[in-house]
Structure 1
Amino acid sequence: MKNKVKFLREEKNMTQNELAEKSGLSLRTIQRIEAGNILKGFTLKTIAQTLETTPENLFDKADFFDVERAKIINISIMMGSVIPFGSIIVPLILTNKSKDSKTKEIGKQLVSVQIILSLSLAILLIVSPFLQKAFSLQFPLFLVPLIGSLCLKLIVVLINGISLNQKQELSIKLKNNFL
């Protein structure tokens, strides 16, 4: 981003001082922006207007990562507790609507983990009545993998949510996603 602001400023034959005066921002703010500080809110809009561009043009698309979108995809996994296969379908839809490649990759990793968990749950639910009959259990055994799966999904969402906040990457993911 710093190169974009500096590049656009130099393209308009402006000094940092001139950009500061025209934008109403301090010279120190302009220096910080060109040194790599992240542009947000009012400052982003002001710099974009002063350089006669859109705020999106101040970001290098390859470096842009929408961590908030990744967090939404992560939390949408819990839709599986309300909608059958919602932990796969909803995050997959949100992932496909994402614009940057890093967010899409994180979404694919999240969905891949959920596919593995859902397949495991399906197998356990199929096997549980047979085990219940074989061991003559009165307790509905299918509840154990069902509740365990919900708890596991919640743990995955929480751990990955914390990791996205702190490191902007996932802690729980597959080495190779299959999407």
Structure 2
Amino acid sequence: MSQLLKYREKLNLTQEQLSVKASVSVRTIQRIEAGREPKGYTLEALSKALGIIKDELLENNNEQPKNNNQLIKFINLSSLFLIFLPLGSIITPIIIMYWKKEINAITKQIVSIQILWTLAFPVIVLTSAFVGKWLSLSNQILPLTMVLLFVANLYIIIRNAVEINKNQKLFIGLNFSFL
């Protein structure tokens, strides 16, 4: 909730009444209540009209919307569909994410991790095949690489599920997002 809205409602003022009292437009008040930060004259006029200091009006109430941790954990674990479908680790979480409208930083990170894994998988497998041929290693290097990559992805999925359960965040995340 916007600080302006909180103080305006505390004084039982409508947006129109506050706009007249502060000599700013109703549209400006609506923008500030929607999340825009007041500056300059507007900040001064509103704080004077509400009888508060400027800093109180600028305080951000950093209430993050509560995430549905069970659903986020389910989205993360749905990445396990990679066992059955080649792109299942990406498609399934995206479908659930948009269907349930649980689009936030954590779910975007979950999908981004799976996109990165899906892009890296063929590159690493092909590289190991070429290196195996070049160094005359046994033919078992390719299946071993694939199994190790699947196990690594399984570890990432399970470890993130545990961390979501404990701390409502990802243990293994990226510094960027593909979404």
Alpha-carbon distance in structure 1 between the residues aligned to 2:138 and 2:166: 46
1:133 paired to 2:125: no
TM-score (norm 2): 0.59
Deviations 1:99-135 (CA, angstroms, capped at 9, x unpaired)? 2443xx3221011111111222110122233222212
Residue type of the partner of 2:92?
V
Alpha-carbon distance in structure 2 between the residues aligned to 1:128 and 1:175: 27
Alpha-carbon distance in structure 1 between the residues aligned to 2:103 and 2:90: 19
Residue type of the partner of 2:167?
K
Which of 74, 92, 95 matches 1:90? Answer: 92
Are the equivalent residues in 1 in contact too, given 2:106–2:170 (CA < 8 A)?
yes
How many residue pairs get aligned? The number is 117
The Cα RMSD (Å) is 1.9
Alpha-carbon distance in structure 1 between the residues aligned to 2:134 and 2:125: 15
After the TM superposition, list the runs of 4 or more consecutive aligned residues in structure 1 that deviate by more than 6 angstroms.
none
Residue 164 of structure 1: aligned partner:
164
Point out where structure 2 has 5 or more consecutive residues left out of the alignment.
Answer: 1-63
TM-score (norm 1): 0.59
Are the equivalent residues in 2 in contact too, given 1:74–1:161 (CA < 8 A)?
yes
Are the equivalent residues in 1 in contact too, given 2:112–2:177 (CA < 8 A)?
yes
Per-residue deviation, 1:64: 3.3
Alpha-carbon distance in structure 1 between the residues aligned to 2:115 and 2:176: 13
Residue 23 of structure 1: aligned partner:
none
Q: Which has the larger radius of gyration?
A: 2
Are the equivalent residues in 1 in contact too, given 2:109–2:177 (CA < 8 A)?
yes
Are the equivalent residues in 2 in contact too, given 1:132–1:140 (CA < 8 A)?
no
Alpha-carbon distance in structure 2 between the residues aligned to 1:111 and 1:145: 23
Point out where structure 1 has 5 or more consecutive residues left out of the alignment.
Answer: 1-61
- Bigger CA drift: 153-162 or 131-140? 131-140
Residue type of the partner of 1:133?
K
Which of 72, 75, 78 matches 1:76? Answer: 78
Residue type of the partner of 1:139?
N
- After superposition, the Cα gap between the structure-2 partners of 1:64 and 1:100, relative to the gap in structure 1 and judged at 3 Å, is farther
